Amino acid sequence: MARLERVLEFISRRSIRKGWLALVILFFLSFVIIPTIFVLTYAFTNWDAINSVVLSDPVKMTMITNAIINSFEIAGLVTLIDFMAGLPMAWIMVRKKFRGKALVDTLIDMPLVVPTAALGFSAALFWGIAPGDIVNPLGLGVVSSPLLLLILLHIVFSYPYMVRSLSAILEQIDQNYETAGRTLGASPLTAARTITLPLFRAGLVTGIILCLARSLSETGGTVIALATLSGSKGFNTGPTLIDGWKAIAQTTDPNYNAALAFVSILLIIIALVLMVLIRVVVKRVHLPMGKVWPRPEKLLSRGFFPKLKDSSTMVFLAVMVLLPSFFIFTCVFVFNPTSSGNWGGFGSSIIYSFTVAGVVTLVDLALGVPLALYIARGRSKRLPEVIDTMVNIPLIVPTAALGYSLSLFWVGGNAVNSDVGMLLVILAHIAFTYPLVVRNVTGAVEEVDPAFEETARTLGAKPIQAFRRVLLPMIKSSILAGAIMAFTRSLGETGATRAVVSNANTAPNFIVTLITKAPKDFYSAALACIILIAISYVLMLGLRYFTRRGKGAN
């Protein structure tokens, strides 16, 4: 007991706590922020190479321009559709009670934890016109345009971000404002449109940024969807262009490193500028308009129209999100089994992925929770505010560009051997999962009154004791949520992994290889996707169980 007291006394010293905080901030800057944007320095140190290899080559410039236009066109349209379909769903989930609401709530979240490699394959089989070597009569097979297929695919995994962002804000808006408006004669639609919707700006900014970032970053699902769609050869987005050129740079032509750097720089700069513009524009534009149309809005607020809106919202969720997500399960019944599947290789890839995700999550927790505490408890100071803004950078940067930047930072963009490959993958995954833990914990700590900890301190508790016995029980569900989000995000990531170590033996990379390399093995790829979906579903159930248990304990 005396030894424990001495340990608590030692780690509670002001100098030790300051030293630990300095180490955490140094880690954040050195392993997350600087490697994420390191590729920007390439423009200053290797401009001659960019000029000679890229800017003076009209073919490459055309490919880059088309790929980036495709990326932002897809992301913009997907975000607009997500908002139009996500707003009524958020309204239903927050303001209405109905049977099966808990089930619908769980289903909305499922695409978040399903690896995008599996989502891409499943959505492509559901919507797209497949090549002759795929026989799947259960799919709709109505889409032949790569652009349209990617829009439909990106809706699947970005839609939940918009619904959750808008729901979180709606839950905080006092419904009494609407009630007051309706008592003064306003119809439900008028009250919602003119009173509640203007208060959605914060949630709208978050939802737009998350949807844009998720769409711009997507690589694995996009690569698989294009490989599965007949006639999609030659169509690229920014991340898929990086993925393709990375292989060329490492095997046949090192000059492509300049092209890779140039594409990554463009994606990072445009994404960051877009994030700033969205914040400014959404906050300054006054939406919706204040004009009222009493008779039409009263008509649309009753009878058949509200039922049509709600039913259309549920149909959108089912047809546009859930069916494409789980359609891959039909492949077991309609695909021809093959004996060429390397299931030993898949087993080792699962172990590899779980090892990486486990180590990444432990590092995120050990060094992310202290940073979140520093941000949440230091809002009045300038440095925590700056760090809080910087935490968003890895979230908005496309992961393929982030992965190449990390590769450039750690190994100069060169190919790596298996001895350091896993370490490099871990470092890459830390960069884009670390903010997930920090964001979750920061929000939870900000909701806890500091007076609880201060009271414990006045009763003689050391800082570490006040945290462990008072604050930790209140925020443990958010820590757990951040941990599982980081774990599943690492488990399903493809773009950053392939940009850093193109032949990394992760499960998503294994699936991509089955579909993109000859001979293609769609049956084995489908089974591998189903296994990953099952694992993700178990993790989601675990998240919900421990979160509810944590709330109950509090």
H runs (alpha helix) in 96-237? 101-113, 116-127, 146-172, 176-183, 188-191, 201-217, 220-228
pLDDT > 70? residue 289: no
How many CB atoms neighbour CB 206 within 10 A?
20
**Distance set, CA 270 to CA 62, 275, 276, 277, 462 (Å):** 18, 9, 10, 10, 47
pLDDT of residue 430: 94
| Nearest-angstrom CA–CA distance, 187 and 303 | 13
pLDDT > 90? residue 518: no
**Residue 29 vs residue 542, higher pLDDT:** 29
**Residue 417 vs residue 88, higher pLDDT:** 88
**Residue 10 vs residue 205, higher pLDDT:** 205
Q: What percent of the chain stands above pLDDT 90?
A: 17
pLDDT of residue 406: 86
pLDDT of residue 544: 63
Domains of the chain: 18-553 (1.10.3720.10)
pLDDT band at 394 (very low <50, low <70, confident <90, very high): confident
| Nearest-angstrom CA–CA distance, 430 and 31 | 8
pLDDT > 60? residue 440: yes
- pLDDT digit string, tens, across residues 232-271: 788 999 988 988 888 788 778 888 888 988 998 988 888 8
Is the peptide bond between 519 and the residue preceding it cis, with omega within 30 degrees of 0? yes
pLDDT band at 32 (very low <50, low <70, confident <90, very high): very high
- pLDDT digit string, tens, across residues 197-228: 666 665 677 678 778 888 888 888 898 888 88
pLDDT of residue 111: 81
**Residue 222 vs residue 3, higher pLDDT:** 222
- pLDDT digit string, tens, across residues 61-88: 999 999 999 999 999 999 999 988 998 8
* pTM for this model (two decimals): 0.79
pLDDT of residue 198: 67
Calculate the average pLDDT of the chain.
79
